[in-house]
Structure 1
């Protein structure tokens, strides 16, 4: 519920030709001088996967929100890891880091947008 009421949270519905195809939740972390963004949730319905929809939406969000990004996936979600590595790699020309944090069980890609 907080994504529709709190500052620093941005919900999006994904539509393809007017039909609901998924949703995205983006979270701001930090201050105006040093803003960081994270993808809290990113879901594209199976019917619309592998058609470029997810990459298009991700690129739109990276272009909209300038700053440092963290995109995390759980260890067991191998399709998400493949998608994000490929998508972030294309967007950044492979200029990203992949790290792990003690409080998260899976890879996290870190990169900065707005510096191209």
Structure 2
């Protein structure tokens, strides 16, 4: 596998264990608003098979985020259906380790990933996650997007939902 110094690197099948371990850090950081409890084994209830599915499924994607060659975090995407039945891509989870925050690493990764999306895409931000909300507010201003529209889904009230480059949703809201 080709190593890159900065940016996205697709996660390989033999790295799913590493992705699972970083998801544990991600769950820890989000435990305040995700209401996740740690198990007696010291792990959050993150399903290893479901996490590996980001790497093995042909419709999902998982990337390492690197800074100066070092592993700085990860981002995963998956297809989701909008309430009207249309399928779009969701930037499902984005995690940057504390050491690499506030250096533009996440924004650079999102910019690179957004250029790869061939259809509208979504971001869901936990309502109580003020740090993520601030990041996305800034990102929406700095990314070259045709549109950014908030929308609501009654089944996902715990999230602020945003659709990017979705002209149809923009007309419906």
RMSD over aligned Cα atoms: 1.9
For residues 78 and 165 of structure 2, the distance between their equivalents in structure 1, rounded to whole angstroms, comes to 15
Q: TM-score, normalised by structure 1?
A: 0.85
1:10-33, Cα deviation, whole Å (9 max, x unpaired): 000111111110000011346xxx
**2:163 counterpart residue number:** 110
Tell which structure's C-alpha radius of gyration is larger: 2
- Secondary structure (helix, strand or coil) at the match of 2:126 reads coil
For residues 109 and 76 of structure 2, the distance between their equivalents in structure 1, rounded to whole angstroms, comes to 12
Mind listing any 5+ residue stretches in structure 1 that lack a counterpart? none
Asked if structure 1 preserves the Cα contact closer than 8 Å seen for 2:145 and 2:164, the reply is no
Evaluate the alpha carbon distance shift between residue 2 and residue 21 of structure 1 in structure 2; reply closer, same or farther with a 3 A threshold.
same
- By how many angstroms is 1:93 displaced? 6.0
Between Structure 1 and Structure 2, how many residues are aligned?
110
For residues 59 and 146 of structure 2, the distance between their equivalents in structure 1, rounded to whole angstroms, comes to 28
After TM superposition, where is structure 1 displaced by more than 6 Å over at least 4 residues in a row? none
Evaluate the alpha carbon distance shift between residue 91 and residue 42 of structure 1 in structure 2; reply closer, same or farther with a 3 A threshold.
same
Higher strand share: 1
Q: Does 1:12 align with 2:63?
A: yes
Q: TM-score, normalised by structure 2?
A: 0.58
Q: Does 1:82 align with 2:122?
A: no
Mind listing any 5+ residue stretches in structure 2 that lack a counterpart? 1-51, 167-173
The within-5 A match list for 1:4-83 is 4-29=55-80, 36-83=88-135
Higher helix share: 2
**2:53 counterpart residue number:** 2
- Secondary structure (helix, strand or coil) at the match of 1:73 reads strand
